[in-house]
Structure 1
């Protein structure tokens, strides 16, 4: 029943764009500026290039068994018991990240927009539409993305055009002062939080896509477009706010929107600009949650994943409220444990899959 769901390559491309942007739009410029100062936007370019190589690795793995999801591929290559152990780790990590994004959503709105609203209420509201979307299915999620991508790019264009007069090119000079080594090291954060985490999209790609013709291009182009948006946002943050101010801000792109002032008339539209982040965050959250729920259903050999959505959604809300006691802990966790988990499921596990597949290739082809 689950295998009957199909989306087209264009819809998948849009989902890749939203997933790539996700939380990166708000958090990446600050971290990149901390390590590579005014060259943060160059670090984003390097990160996008490295990320495309990782996406190519994911495509290669997925096309070994184009009719299987990532958890099924893991079980196929590693064997039943070892494969299930790795699949459980992948599913639990995806679920943890979906809870983490609920925290981001509630925390951001509580600080900047709705300070008198309890965080638990905001998290429940977000979790509610995430659970609703997953229950309605992947096709509904993809069609919604098709509509909201127009809204997203319209608002993004407004942001770029309106903030352009505030650009100060002195803020990005001298260019390339930090040197290649420092710039590449800084870019690794972007690689971890965006392309590496895109491994969860293998729960969709290519088993739930109806035409294989352009499917590889969709994955690569979607990641490329998302990467370009992050590069533009990072460039604007550094060139408008300056490297020092970008480093100090938790959400520099939100502060960027506050600088918009056209003729003392168009100003204070940062609440409207936050819609950009909320849209992309929603789709990143729902894709993590979908991967976790679908993966769990496949591990348990269930015919339908929908009975798991509500209980897992309730657990996700609870976890989102206790996962981070405060912002300092959150930043420490993300830079240590969070990055380790991302690398484990998004880099080390795929590379291990490649090694084991190379060893067992003949046997797996006979079984097929």
Structure 2
């Protein structure tokens, strides 16, 4: 009897331990399954309930649900809403002091929680809030005007409302849109009226997007063609030539500096006695030049520039390789001359395809077509003096007309 009782006792104890262990495993299994899931589901249902009350225009319930969701997430907005969603909600619930405090410290670059990111993709909260805010902006403006916050706060809330609508409608700011121009005007008025306001940095850094031209501009004209026309005695020896030039153009405010290099191809119209030999008629000749100009912008718009310039350079003639191989004395002609020059330039500037004019507020992605007329005054006769050659006056000047294409532009700087 005692033995039976002992076995029964042992069986009951083992069965109880097994049951307890199984219950513990079931509890742990349930905990694993529901870990974080309950918070995600709670947030999902809460966001949808808030949106349902919002669409019914029950802002009292919207505020209650919003507060409860934040309480569940220990007040962390980024674990509950996207910042822009939260701002829309606070405008509608008329919690302006909380809204102002949030705007002062919000960081739109901080990531939201995974739950918010996932839920926002399906519950359409942002879309609904934005649509109602855009369609009923006048009503929100009335709410702001009738609120008890200070006049300065009211004006800032109006400005912030315009900005948050702009942010909702587009991921990038169209700097030339009427909306941006209006926001910039409101910003200027506010900054002038309240120069020491606590919103000064917010407006300058995140709301007002005004740009002004940079004082510096740079262009590189790497392909230019045109005509070089000798005059007077020089034209007796050299024909009109086809020229090619490259120029670097640096500008500061109204001042222009141009460094250029080029050459032009000519034909001899008369023979030239040089280096004790004859450079025959109809031979080819190349005129190489380098110059530096300083100019002034009489007109400088986004599309057009006009600028006179004055400068100087150095030029020299050479002949072809075939000729100086046959007549070695013509390899180094030393038919060179320093020269002064004057001229005028015209630029037509245009946007390059597929390049964003407003990338970071810069208009540097421009191309231009330039037309420059230059009057050069060399004197090649001097290089022949004292060399034992017969007198051959070459004191003519040259006209140069170049049409070139280049890249560059005058950047813009954001006004803060």
Give the TM-score taking structure 2 as reference length. Answer: 0.16
Larger radius of gyration: 2
More strand by share: 2
Higher relative contact order (CA 8 A, sep 6+): 1
